[in-house]
Structure 1
Amino acid sequence: MKLVTPRTAAIAARSSADVQLRGSWYLTLQRLRRDPASIASAAMIVLIVLFALCAPLIATWTGHGPNDQFRDTGLSPDGIPVGPSGDFLLGADQLGRDVLVRLAYGAQVSLLVGVVASIIASVIGVVVGLVSGFLGGPVDTILSRITDLVMSVPFLLCAIALVSVLGPSLSLSIAVIVFFSWTGLARIIRGQVIALRHREFVEAARSLGASRWAIMVRDIVPNLVVPIIVYTTLMIPSAIVFEATLSFLGLGIVPPTASWGNMLADAANGSLYLVAWWMVVVPGTALLALTLSFNLFGDGLRDALDPSGRKGGARR
């Protein structure tokens, strides 16, 4: 029989604490670190975020504001934008504005719209899906039909109608993106809640007298963390593309505010990209890099959080 001393008991206690600390989140981080695509995509996201945050510093360093027009140095005698050079590292646009500086300020808009719209849409989707799946009955029927109705509304037609009445703005762009983004998560959460609401731990909470709202918040929501995190991460690139689409069509960010969408629209105006390729390549590459990075990171995060493929099953 092995003798248990105070020293061995203390070592065992510390080992137990280490095991608890190295729980699911530690394992998730370890799996992410072993995925080169996730590491590369996370690094790209961090670089773009830093690039956006440093926009004022870039403007100060170059001496070019995002809306400053340098018609003498930024345009040729024929009125053609100058290409990448020492004065304009990524070239100039049709008004002689610095593409690099506008790209940095446009990154701020894309990240702001993408993150804010995705978070708001996730909150709405989780609440609707949670209430619909747990309460069932008439509540489920009403909320499900509302979800179906929103999903059937044409995105561009609704955006055009709203802009024609209210006028384009940043807040309107976020509102339109949120309106069309929460439905997918609501359906996913509803299905997960239906699968969880009759599990043993939920029945035990009911038998102890817990209210419906307490059960939903304390027992159901913790088991939905994986799909919520993963789907929110994957919604961000969709929101960024939505914003760029709206701005490209003149329904989003109002010029002269820099946005990757209206930068692409400037390049398409009069087929200017045929003589100034950087006007479409620079914002287009940035948009592709950011959305692809978020998609790859979201896929890697999904696999790391749920390696067994249960996609957010109950962990009780």
Structure 2
Amino acid sequence: MSLSTSKPPAPRLATPKTAAIAARNAADVQLRGSWSLTFARLRRDPASIGSIAVILLIVAFAIGAPLVAAWTGHGPTEQFRDTGLSPSGIPVGPSAEFLLGADQLGRDVLVRLAYGAQVSLLVGVVASIAASMIGVVVGVVAGFFGGPVDTVLSRITDLVMSVPFLLCAIALVAVLGPSLPLSIAVIVFFSWTGLARVIRGQVMALRHREFVEAARSLGASRTSIMFRDILPNLVVPIIVYTTLMIPSAIVFEATLSFLGLGIVPPTPSWGNMLADAANGSLYLIAWWMVVVPGGALLALTLAFNLLGDGLRDALDPAASKGGKGA
């Protein structure tokens, strides 16, 4: 009886294709695990939870603006000169009829605040997302191709950053007239440059990594490598930077409206509500006209800033806390 002398099959060598597939599968598993850890860290941060609660309350307040108007019986541009103004023409303060007082024309500050929240959130979110998309595309293309492409895009970025914000806004408004789309366009024009620089630097550090070389060996196109292989590794700075751009966009819109360059009255905006309070130093006798929109603007921008900081710490705890992440 003879013993079998057959040898075990030799291990199969990994090909560039299987290596690339394995790397992508491992990245997918790591990404799902990292998101679970991110949410767990975020839940343990009281400042982030508080900021999310404030943002959700203001969003619900803005969405429910028509309900607020129906409940009070006051429209956002409706004037109540008999009940909203005193016999001497001074706005009435907070009362049962006007919970947050009235303005210089007898309009309900509460209702105008709700409709103004719609404008601030719309401008902040839309402008930030649009600016992020432009910044990501410019940064990825500049960092991936390098050379003359990087030089041209970097000089364009420097040129945009050197243009005075208010001077450009005043010039555009003088030619085109103030409007909501123009306000969004101006904010987008001045907001994408910072993210483009951050993404460019990240892409330059990633473009020669092993997974990129594996994708090249498989014959992947440059577009596929940029937006399928490199872009997923930039999720952290994109999310954090976009979140932090929202409060800046909200403040920009309020500034433009305060100066008469943004939302056209009588459409309510937190910026033109503050401008009404500053007109003739009315805030000295009607404090609610500046405290109410100013407090709402402060609360919303502070909440988004705290949320951005919390997301940064949760997404990259090693970098934000000296390697002591959870």
Same fold (TM over 0.5): yes
Q: Which structure 1 residue ranges, 5 or more long, are not aligned? A: 1-18, 312-316
Q: Which residue of 1 aligns with 2:24?
A: none
Aligned with 1:23: secondary structure?
helix
Query: C-alpha displacement at 1:20, in angstroms?
Result: 7.8
Matched ranges for 1:301-316 at <5 A: 301-309=311-319
Evaluate the alpha carbon distance shift between residue 160 and residue 264 of structure 1 in structure 2; reply closer, same or farther with a 3 A threshold.
same
* In the alignment, structure 1 residue 148 sits paired with structure 2 residue 148: no
Percentage identity across paired residues of the two chains: 87
Give the Cα–Cα distance (whole angstroms) in 2 for the partners of residues 25 and 205 of structure 1. 25
Give the Cα–Cα distance (whole angstroms) in 2 for the partners of residues 192 and 131 of structure 1. 12
* In the alignment, structure 1 residue 122 sits paired with structure 2 residue 132: yes
Give the Cα–Cα distance (whole angstroms) in 2 for the partners of residues 165 and 84 of structure 1. 40
* In the alignment, structure 1 residue 27 sits paired with structure 2 residue 37: yes
RMSD: 1.3
Query: C-alpha displacement at 1:258, in angstroms?
Result: 0.3
Q: Which residue of 1 aligns with 2:193?
A: 183
Q: Which residue of 2 aligns with 1:137?
A: 147
CA contact (8 A) 2:313 2:320 kept: no
Give the Cα–Cα distance (whole angstroms) in 1 for the partners of residues 31 and 258 of structure 2. 48
* In the alignment, structure 1 residue 262 sits paired with structure 2 residue 257: no
Deviations 1:153-178 (A, max 9, x none): 00000000000000000000000000
Give the Cα–Cα distance (whole angstroms) in 2 for the partners of residues 241 and 62 of structure 1. 28
Aligned with 1:71: secondary structure?
coil
Aligned with 2:100: secondary structure?
coil
Structure 1 segments (4+ residues) deviating >3 Å: 19-22
Give the Cα–Cα distance (whole angstroms) in 1 for the partners of residues 30 and 258 of structure 2. 50
Q: Which residue of 2 aligns with 1:3?
A: none
Matched ranges for 1:289-308 at <5 A: 289-308=299-318
Give the Cα–Cα distance (whole angstroms) in 2 for the partners of residues 153 and 183 of structure 1. 12
Query: C-alpha displacement at 1:204, in angstroms?
Result: 1.3
Q: Give the TM-score, by structure 1 length.
A: 0.91
Give the Cα–Cα distance (whole angstroms) in 1 for the partners of residues 274 and 187 of structure 2. 20
CA contact (8 A) 2:254 2:271 kept: yes
Give the letter for the 1:147 counterpart: T
Q: Which residue of 2 aligns with 1:37?
A: 47
Q: Which residue of 2 aligns with 1:14?
A: none
Deviations 1:257-307 (A, max 9, x none): 000000000000000000000000000000000000000000001110111
Aligned with 1:309: secondary structure?
helix
Give the Cα–Cα distance (whole angstroms) in 2 for the partners of residues 248 and 189 of structure 1. 33
Q: Which residue of 2 aligns with 1:193?
A: 203
Give the letter for the 2:85 counterpart: L
